[in-house]
Structures are given as C-alpha cells and as structure tokens.
Structure 1
C-alpha cells in the first residue's frame, strides 16, 4: 500500500471515449475472515516513504518495457472484467489484503473487488493512481522510478508517484484505461498487476525486483 500522506479524491475530466458503457460490476469478498488491523497495513505505506528519491534508470527502462509489451489487441468491458478477475484471484490465493480496480479512460469503474480487511483509504489511492496514469500516460511505478516528485510536476495529493497503477494500452489506439491495485507495498501492487496481465496475454514479462537497482 502507498504512503500515508492524505489525498483527497477529485473528479478527473477525461474526454469520453467510444467504449460502450455498461453498469459497473463491484465485487467484494464476503466471508467471516478476521479484519486485518489498519496499523499493520500502514506499515507498508511507511516503506514507500523511506525510498530514496533519485532517478533509477534501469527501473525506468524495465517499467517502460512492461508498458510497451503488455499491450492488448482490443478492449471492452468484458475484457476489463476478465483482467480484474485474474488479478483478484491471484490476490485471494495469496491472502493479499488488496482492492483491485479496472477503469476506463473516462473514469468509469468497470471492475472492482476488495479482499477481506481492505480499508476505505484504499479507494483514495485507487483514484490517485488512476488520475496519475491518465494524466501522465505512464504507470505510477514508472513515475516513481523517474525520481520526479508530485511537487516538481505541479501535481497535488490527488495524484501519486507510488506503484500500483498501470495503463491499459490497445494496439494502434493508445491508452484506454487503467488497472489498479492498492493494499500491498507499492512495488508489490505493481507486480501483481504485471502477473495478471501476463496471465491474460500469455506473456512472461519479468517483474520488478528492487534488489536489481541497488
């Protein structure tokens, strides 16, 4: 999960696309599993805060490779639900306390599912990640790797430079939406998305291992 800095939600105005709009499917795990303590989840945020700021050129290249390789042939709401379900099932199998969301470029949430223990502040982070992906046309981890800060980009707390937001690209069409994960350490949020897209596309794009850039 990302840093604990507060971010207020904002409505991002993005030009409406021709993607057909259907009623959003919001799913939530409904079991009697114990709720994870918020303090434990907050520890993951603090890790992101402790990251040193400065360009990590190899990570920049590796994330850019992921963005340019994990490209869809087509995209619609059914595909959005399929991708979201794959990622959510991976999280469920590993008992990850996360929320997974897939949104269109215009901000419509097509798929969302929260695991047991997920907290409300995750919604704020999902919004911030989507805003960043659509405004900067880059994954949020890509922005983190660049070493650029929100302040230097004149962005406020409605955006974030921590991982867990990834652009959904369609061949010859560009970015049509975003896939988002919130709840883990931010690099792990990002990697869960990459695993899900690999599973959907049948690719084997390497995950990001921070130890490779130290």
Structure 2
C-alpha cells in the first residue's frame, strides 16, 4: 500500500468513527447488534468470534463454527487498544503504520496484551464519548473492521 493509499484509508476510517455514533447504548442495543453480526457471519459462513462490551462488562459474545479460543485472545488485545486510545484498533494500527511505528514497549504497552489490528470499533455515545467496543476476530483485519462497520451502520439505520 502506498503512503497516499494509507492516508486515504486513515481518512475513511476517521470519517467512519465520526459518523457512527450512538444516541445511547444499552444491553438491548448490544444484543441486537450482536445478533446482527452473528446473522451476517452465518449467512456468509464466516469463522468469527463476536464480542460487545460496555465498560468492563461483556454484554454479548458468540463463537461461530471455525473460530477458536485464539480469537477470544485477539478480541481482548484489540479491545484494550480501543480502551487505551479511544479509537478503533484498525485506525490505531494504520496510523502507526503510516509513521513506521509499532504498538510496543516503546509506546508503553506490552504487545502480548495489545493488538492494533482491525476488528475492534469504539461504541461512542453522543455527548458522552467512548463507552465500549464492538469486536470481531477471525478474518483478515480489514475484513474484521469492515464487518463491524457494516453491522453498526445497519443498527444505527434501524434506530433512526
């Protein structure tokens, strides 16, 4: 990927994060969004795990055929990136790549505990900020990210 393409990608992901903001986010929202992700993945036969959290509480989790406990470990690492940086794990990773940097001890984090790979997207509530994360693991990082974005877009469209 060229520098120009990477910068365009970063701009698109930043725009997604500005646009995909919830009016509120409760347990019922997490359930509906999680079920939507499971439905999309099942229709496409995707071997993923899905996780939705608000703060420290896991509100939804599903492991579809073909996923493994390794996906759960990746979810935990991606969620920590959202919690620490207040941005999607994909955006954090792409911003670092654009600077030729990595998420490592030089940034004050243990790479065994943090993964700046696509798939965890912040649950941002209007006039509140980031309150949680929606995460998918099991596909290449761009596809994990795209699936979460697709589901959040559909969920927000239903609520409007």
Give the TM-score of the pair, scaled to structure 1: 0.67
SS of equivalent to 2:123: strand
User: Which structure 2 residues correspond to residues 184-199 of structure 1 after superposition, within 5 A?
Assistant: 184-199=139-154
SS in 1 for 2:132: strand
Task: Please point out which of 164, 176, 179 is paired with 2:131.
Answer: 176
1:145 aligns with 2:94: yes
Q: CA deviation at 1:56?
A: 2.2
Structure 2: gaps of 5 or more residues: none
> Which ranges in structure 1 are unaligned for 5 or more consecutive residues?
1-50, 204-214
1:117 — aligned with what? Answer: 66
Matches within 5 A, 1:35-46: none
For the pair shown, the structure with the greater C-alpha radius of gyration is: 1
In structure 2, how many angstroms separate the alpha carbons of the residues matched to 1:78 and 1:176?
15
Cα distance per residue 1:13-43 (max 9 Å; x no partner) = xxxxxxxxxxxxxxxxxxxxxxxxxxxxxxx
CA drift at 1:87: 1.0
Kindly indicate whether residue 50 of structure 2 is the aligned counterpart of residue 97 of structure 1: no
- 1:31-88 Cα shifts (integer Å, max 9, x gaps): xxxxxxxxxxxxxxxxxxxx899x9221111111001100001111111111111111
TM-score by length of 2: 0.89
* Aligned-CA RMSD value: 2.0
Matches of 2:2 and 2:83, distance apart in 1: 25
Residue of structure 1 equivalent to 2:38: 88
Bigger share in helix: 2
